[in-house]
Structure 1
């Protein structure tokens, strides 16, 4: 998978969390992902299609991190993943994908994005529905971990 496609998602993710939640996460080593099992408790997933590429993108948060982001962004800290946290994860997914879309557009890659779908619960699965390799990018913060998954196939 080309770093040209991946780096804009990493940069947008870090930017969104730094500006919206005043939070910095440390990137860990990326790796290829072979299964559909989510590594956290709540996931935002969206599809992307365009003339040059077709893919999907997800962000999964461990519950403590999602709750901490909710607290830092909105000033309220629920004790469990609820409808507001699910909405927040969907919005974060949309903002990160939008930031990456802008950067990729400057490089000549144009694509449309679907509305994010959010799935939550222990041991939930993420179905990218794209025939291509899946890459998982882990991030670590004080309150927990987040995981970006990216899957692209050429259109």
Structure 2
């Protein structure tokens, strides 16, 4: 898998979280993920089809997820679990969409499924590809999260 595929995901993540939650995020160096254990306790996954098939996922730690939701909704959080699930799914959908637009310039046309959100400590991520996932750690004033993608 080409390391250039990480660039659209990094750019999309910075853009979406800046626009939706006023967060300045910093990407760490991408690495090959050796296992399927999520890097956080809230993960949103999107299946990818088109020129490549695979999975896109973002895993947030609890504090980061709640911080992002509070910035998106103000203090209007009524049901923390439901609001976090909805917001993380929507954030992941927006990042995936922006990244897929960025991949068009690389000659790739991709479509994304509706996001699925998994919550809980030490949950695993099922990838729709046989290749190993690329993980990109991010940090911001809200905390840490990890973006992962895997394509055949």
Q: Which moved more, 1:134-143 or 1:86-95?
A: 134-143
Partners in 1 of 2:62 and 2:79 — Cα distance? 7
1:46 matched residue in structure 2:
46
Q: CA RMSD, aligned part only?
A: 1.7
How far does the alpha carbon of each residue in 1:36-85 deviate from its partner, in whole angstroms, 9 at most, with x for none? 111111001011111x3111100011110111111111102759950111
* C-alpha contact 1:56 1:128 (8 A) present in aligned 2: yes
Conserved in 2, the CA contact under 8 Å of 1:61 and 1:146?
Answer: yes
2:83 counterpart of 1:84: yes
Equivalent residue, structure 2, for 1:28: 28
List, as ranges, runs of 4+ consecutive aligned residues in structure 1 with deviation greater than 3 Å. Answer: 77-81
Corresponding position of 1:134: 133
Query: Bigger CA drift: 102-111 or 54-63?
Result: 102-111
Unaligned 5+ segments in structure 2 are none
TM-score (norm 1): 0.91
Contact 1:101–1:110 (8 Å) recurs in 2: yes
**Contact residue 27 and residue 137 of structure 1 kept, 8 A:** yes
User: 1: distance between equivalents of 2:35 and 2:78?
Assistant: 29
C-alpha contact 2:23 2:141 (8 A) present in aligned 1? no
Partner of 2:112: 113
Aligned residues between the structures: 152
Partner residue in 1 for 2:148? 149
Question: What are the Cα deviations for residues 65-116 of structure 1, in whole angstroms up to 9, with x where unaligned?
Answer: 1111111111027599501110100001100000011111233211111111
Displacement of 1:34 after TM fit? 1.2
- Asked whether the equivalents of residues 53 and 128 of structure 2 are also in contact (C-alpha less than 8 Å), the reply is no
Per mean C-alpha deviation after superposition, the further-off stretch among 39-48 and 80-89 is 80-89
Q: CA deviation at 1:151?
A: 0.5
**Which secondary structure state, in structure 2, belongs to the residue aligned with residue 53 of structure 1?**
coil
